[in-house]
Structure 1
């Protein structure tokens, strides 16, 4: 199974305290630098990976993340997916600056987004247009002589900006920058970029296109939301990413999410549409047979859990939805290659779901254990668990399995 990678390089203050990370596009774990041919595509991948695949608090903690933002990204709707409290948008001096670009930057600044001017080596008319918008100026100290650097700093001291020394490679450079009054530092002298990785579990483009079509409909009725939820239920990895995105938009306190429908409603249709478009832009169409098999098993477990929950509490829809989520989440540790405890800690799901997934305790946990016993053909354990659950007979369980078998056969492949 391929890995999803994300680079991050520490940004330090004058006391060598960590204050931020620059988030970097990486395709492989061994990469120190990336071969970027499309700035927007690289930035989109960074956003998808940081927010959806890793979880922004795993990546940044309580620090801010600097993300490269070319004019296409600034002008796109993608930016609104990013909570302003998390990120600093790094802009480079463009070949030409349009009034539309400047106006968009002003609007984003008013909404609380911060900007950094990247790789600056001199001040010209283009840079002067951007300086009123930025909070941080990143100066490429490696490209300048001591005299040139001193002159540039003296010019920038007339602006209310923080200075960040970029590409610091030795103690002598750091000492000179400190003497000139730089507030932040980044470079190989302090730390090379760290490459984080998780196992790839891309949802594929066909299900995303179906979801996008549903989300773009102007119908706000519950039946329409139910159709969106149904599509998510066939995509465990995508459902996981949805929950991560919803919690990334919170204030760091995990939300108690009981259903996919609730997550969809919390995110909102407009934001959901932008997120799916971004996933379509970055989705890798390749998938391996192991991912296919795990995904299909997880979807089947979800439906089995839902029907068992309905047999136990016919009128408790909330219980049915939590049961389904336990089923589809139960194999995400295998699908993503990370521990289940890490998954549940970041998803903000209810306590009974946590117990079921981590220790197979509680009513949901017993039902999940029963399904696992059926998968393995453990006859004695099956009879024991049915006795403990006390609302389901072996024949009724067989009927449920038959229903799920028919349901899965009518369900189109989720990995096309």
Structure 2
């Protein structure tokens, strides 16, 4: 079992009642974030919160504020949590005049998420983002009274609430009360509280075939339930997620009901995160290659009109299974619930899926002569390959920490 950490800092109303907690990524036992990659930190925080600690243990029945990076906001990375009992913080380094970001904010708001603009710096070009926001956080510690008053007066023209963050003195608190702030956060009230727990390891042998079945459009709920039930740690983590107050208003005691509640898409997202975290005795680059192959196979299948792009994704994902598991592919395939088309593709590169997988591997490995006879698809390879690599990088950055945080230069460290 691994020790995991995160921090939480209370948010107060004008009567100094705790009305929410901000959850903060922590790489270790020190009270600082040591964030090298924001996407990775957000992914780890989501997994730790919803599948290891449990949201209720961390925040009770009040909302949790969770920091999101741009890929989560625009949908490049899946956000596997429902809108109940969470507020999504848009970090200050996200460009609010970005059209993709604005479209993402509108979509998240329409789906019922509370949108929070963190460490907001008022600029006229950022006004469209204010129309999507429910709450704006303003830093008060390093802001003059005149500047703070001016910004508050301008923001009151919008239908939103204000939170004063980095409040460190009684004078600052009284000023913010007088200016009409709705909520307060900072060292004057409470420092972030470090929380630790234990993570149970799931079986990597069982997770990859399960991920394959999740990518099978013909898979039914009973098949998924049977596969998940083989890994009791995974059952535990999914039940923790399903029983989160943010997901369910009543107790979910069975795996069957948890799958019904979460849905296949959400379960698939969680299992991708858990699967890659479980492969600890192999170089992370193997997982990155498998993900990139899967994504490139899927992209080319869609562009070429090959039936069932999801099966192509599965074949690419499992194409390094023998290396990851230290077993012959023939033995692994025999034990997996795969279609005959995927089996033929993995074992002999046969059929439409197998031929596509072979071309993807040839391109990846620089076997250009093998691709010369396929000029039509060849024009699609560079773009699909780059997009697949970027997608794989984002997934891997979310779920892996390939270097010791102690030895890294902190790019961005939030202390409150």
Q: Give your verdict on TM over 0.5.
A: yes
Contact 2:8 2:193 (8 Å CA) reproduced: yes
- Residue 144 of structure 1 corresponds to 143
**Superposition pairs of residues 195-210 of structure 1, within 5 angstroms:** 195-203=194-202, 205-210=204-209
Which one scores higher on RCO, CA 8 angstroms, separation ≥ 6? Answer: 2
Deviations 1:30-63 (A, max 9, x none): x222111111111111111111111111122111
Q: Deviations over 1:166-221 (max 9, x none)?
A: 11111111111111111100001111111211112132655433221111111134
Q: Following TM superposition, by how much is the alpha carbon of 1:154 offset from its aligned partner in structure 2, in angstroms?
A: 1.4
1:57, 1:252 within 8 Å by CA — same for their partners in 2? no
- Equivalent-residue separation in structure 2 for 1:169 and 1:37 (angstroms): 27
User: What corresponds to 2:249 in structure 1?
Assistant: 252
Give the Cα separation in 1 of the matches to 2:66 and 2:33. Answer: 15
Q: 1:236 pairs with 232, 238, 242, which one?
A: 232
8 Å CA contact retained: 1:66, 1:90: yes
Q: Which residue, 270, 275, 280 being the options, matches 1:275?
A: 270
CA distance in 2, matches of 1:217, 1:253: 30
After superposition, where does 1:94-109 map in structure 2 within 5 Å? 94-95=94-95, 97-109=97-109
Report which stretch shifted further, 263-272 or 200-209.
200-209
> Equivalent residue for 2:152?
153
Match of 1:75 in 2: 74
Deviation at 1:278, TM superposition (A): 3.1
Q: Secondary structure at the match of 1:10?
A: strand
SS in structure 1 at match of 2:217:
coil
The 10-residue stretch of structure 1 (87-96 or 4-13) with the greater mean CA deviation from structure 2: 87-96
Once the two structures are TM-superposed, the CA of residue 115 in structure 1 deviates from its matched residue by 0.5
Q: Does the CA contact (< 8 Å) of 1:91 and 1:116 recur in 2?
A: yes
Change (3 A) 1:152 1:250: closer
Deviation at 1:233, TM superposition (A): 3.3
Asked if the contact 1:139–1:166 (Cα under 8 Å) also holds between the matched residues in 2, the reply is yes
- Output aligned runs, 1:69-218, within 5 Å: 69-76=68-75, 80-93=79-92, 94-95=94-95, 97-120=97-120, 122-203=121-202, 205-218=204-217
User: CA contact under 8 A between 1:215 and 1:269: conserved in structure 2?
Assistant: yes
CA contact (8 A) 1:78 1:274 kept: no
C-alpha distance in 1 between matches for 2:261 and 2:96: 39
Asked if the contact 2:78/2:269 (under 8 Å) is kept, the reply is no
Cα deviation for residue 86 of structure 1 reads: 1.4
Structure 2 distance, partners of 1:205, 1:143, is 48
CA separation in 2, counterparts of 1:40 and 1:175? Answer: 36
Distance 1:181 1:211 in 2: 52
Higher-Rg structure is 1
Q: CA deviation at 1:76?
A: 2.7
Query: Which residue number corresponds to residue 318 of structure 2?
Result: none
Answer 1 or 2: which has greater helix percent. 1
After superposition, the C-alpha distances for 1:332-364 in whole angstroms (9 at most, x for unaligned) are: xxxxxxxxxxxxxxxxxxxxxxxxxxxxxxxxx
Shift of 1:242: 0.9
Q: Cα RMSD between the aligned structures? A: 2.4
Distance 2:231 2:110 in 1: 37
Q: TM-score, structure 2 length as denominator?
A: 0.63
Measure, in 2, the Cα distance between the counterparts of 1:35 and 1:205: 28
Distance 1:63 1:141, change over 3 A: same
Instruction: List alignment gaps of at least 5 residues for structure 1.
Output: 288-409
> How many pairs were matched up?
282
Distance 1:66 1:221, change over 3 A: closer
Mapped partners of 1:179, 1:284: distance in 2:
52
